[in-house]
Amino acid sequence: MQNLLTASQIREVDAYTIINEPVSSIDLMERAAEAFVNKFVSLYTDRPSVIICCGTGNNGGDGLAIARLLFERGYTNIVVWIVRYNNKKTDDFEVNYKRLLTYSIQVQELFPAEQLPSITADVVIDALFGSGLNKPLIDPWRSLVRYINKEAKVVVSVDIPTGMPAEGNMETFENVIIAQDVITFQAPKISFLFPESGKFLKRFHVVDIGLHQGFMASLDTEFCSIMNDDIRSRLKVRENFSHKGTYGHACILAGNEHTMGAALLSAEACLYTGAGLTTVCIPSSGLSALNTRLPEVMALDRSKLSELGTGKYKSLGIGPGLGTGEEIRGCLSELLADDLPPLVLDADALNVVAANKNLLTLLKAETILTPHMKEFDRLFGHSDHWWDRVIKARTEASRRKLIIVLKNRYTFVALPDGKIWVNFTGNPAMASGGMGDVLTGILVALLAQGYKAADAAILGVFIHGKAGDLLAAEGMGVIPASCLIKKIPNVIEDFSSSI
Ligand SMILES: NC(=O)C1=CN([C@@H]2O[C@H](COP(=O)(O)OP(=O)(O)OC[C@H]3O[C@@H](n4cnc5c(N)ncnc54)[C@H](OP(=O)(O)O)[C@@H]3O)[C@@H](O)[C@H]2O)[C@@H](O)CC1
Ligand SMILES: Nc1ncnc2c1ncn2[C@@H]1O[C@H](COP(=O)(O)OP(=O)(O)O)[C@@H](O)[C@H]1O
Ligand SMILES: [K+]
């Protein structure tokens, strides 16, 4: 895992690195500028003309160093804007300013109430404000940002688009640079994970600037990202003398007459994630579809729900395509009061619980809930913005000892210990119906194989997204959920064989 830091934690790590590593503050800025330039030249290979718009803080200092480094790499068409809208400046900005003046790079100073110069360059590099932003932009900075948004062809931001807070509620921050690319230092800013950031940045790229890893890891952070190593260290290799009994019997209660596909997708994903045995509890109207499509999967009649609490099954998933009719509501209330195996609740099971919140109190510790945004809001109340929603997921997960998998482009896994693990795998080709049903099947299979619920959730969301990424890399711009399932064994193989 890698801790994701708030702006004040970034400053802490910055200060710690400077004190404890053989690197001065100005050299760290140089490293950051170098890392930016390396990425920039790999993204924009045709040596575009650039305007570098620099504030007078450390983000601006980065911008000045970037100008110098691009010049040294043969960029000839560089104009540096220095935005002098107040008298503040940092020491490292000042050092880089003096260094810049020894180069024959065109510098233009901008003062309040002056007309803004025209933008003719191919790319504007935005180094106005970085993670030091502590309030929404007002004029004259606001007008400058609006002007750049209106006039620039392409903007590439240094560390974070100017005007965007590094974390917290973004609602009041309306005036933000709209960046094609953001080249950000060391780890993604927490704000990048929320859909609200999508209108201000298309892509972000993380570059390593050598901040102190040990200190970063030691910080008590709310957010961390799921890394490849987290998967490798958790995935168990299938043993030589293992048999189907070794990998558990999973059961999925899902499907209805018109939504049988959801049950089939979940069951198939469960199969492909390696459960020893998979049973799906569906209405009899789905039997011929099941037997035709998934001969490996067994069926349990809907009238035999009491079997689910008998210990026969090692894990249980409830919800995909289940429906929320009176009969389902009644049987779910009874079922959740039973002593059930490790449990995943998804889709309609969540909707039933949302309509009768008392059911939440019946859920055993470590139950996994997999709501998308709307299901989450039905369960825990409406949120106006994602920061609120994610913090609510954290609070509810620790208060109720649940595992809440809040699904989105970047899925948030809120654990009972208060930590939120963020999954970065996955891509927009996966935005199609049935994808969540597949995730449920993956999770139920992992629980059946004996993974602890928190590990199953971390592994499950990663594997799900990674399977989508493999297909996207093969050129699939749209991925039907049933196609993604077939890639799950490849991901598992990739990440477990290297132990
Ligand atoms: N962390 C790292 O590891 C490294 C970080 N580096 C770089 O440093 C950047 C952070 O730099 P920074 O702290 O100097 O802040 P920056 O964003 O330049 O702002 C400057 C000042 O602006 C002010 N201000 C705030 N909001 C405002 C507003 N709305 N309207 C007007 N003014 C406003 C506020 O001062 P205040 O007004 O509060 O006194 C603030 O202090 C970071 O993004 C990265 O690029 C790398 O160089 C090296 C390694
Ligand atoms: N743009 C995207 N990038 C990454 N993952 C996505 C994207 N869109 C959807 N997904 C994933 O697909 C799944 C969709 O779940 P859900 O909305 O419950 O689907 P359904 O109800 O159709 O099965 C989630 O796991 C989500 O993370
Ligand atoms: K910036």
Binding residues: 58-62, 126, 130-136, 159, 162, 262, 321, 372, 407-411, 436-437
CA atoms within 13 A on the CB side of 131: 25
Residue with tokens 């429906």: 323
Start-end ranges of CATH 3.40.1190.20 in the chain? 228-496
Residue 166 to residue 389: CA distance in whole angstroms:
17
Point out the residues of the chain with pLDDT beneath 70. 497-499
AA letter at 43: L
**Residues lining ligand 2, judged by CB closer than 6 Å?**
347, 372, 407-409, 411, 426-428, 430-431, 433-437, 439, 464-465
CA nearest to 412, candidates 376, 359, 360: 376
Determine which residue's CA is closest to atom 33 belonging to ligand 1. Answer: 133
CATH superfamily entry for domain 2-219: YjeF N-terminal domain (3.40.50.10260)
Q: What pLDDT sits at residue 471?
A: 98
Q: What pLDDT sits at residue 247?
A: 98
Using most ligand atoms within 8 A of CB, pick from 30, 133, 144, 184 the residue to mutate for ligand 1: 133
The size of the chain, in residues, is: 499
**Residues lining ligand 1, judged by CB closer than 6 Å?**
10, 14, 28-29, 32, 55, 57-62, 88, 90, 129-135, 137, 141, 158-159, 185, 209, 211
Start-end ranges of CATH 3.40.50.10260 in the chain? 2-219
Query: DSSP state, 372?
Result: B
Give 239 Cα–ligand 2 centroid separation in angstroms: 32
- CA 29 from centre of chain: 27
Which pTM value belongs to this model? 0.97
Question: Among the atoms of ligand 2, which is closest to the Cα of residue 428?
Answer: 1
Residue 479 to residue 471: CA distance in whole angstroms:
7
Q: What pLDDT sits at residue 499?
A: 46
Q: What pLDDT sits at residue 492?
A: 98
Binding residues for K(+): 59, 126, 162
Which of 3.20.20.150, 3.40.1190.20, 3.40.50.300, 3.30.720.120 is the CATH number of 228-496? 3.40.1190.20
Q: What pLDDT sits at residue 175?
A: 97
Residue 361 to residue 218: CA distance in whole angstroms:
34
Residue with tokens 């020893």: 276
Whether ipTM > 0.85 holds is yes
Tokens found for residue 35: 């890392």
CA atoms within 13 A on the CB side of 396: 24
Q: What pLDDT sits at residue 497?
A: 65
Using most ligand atoms within 8 A of CB, pick from 27, 134, 211 the residue to mutate for ligand 1: 134
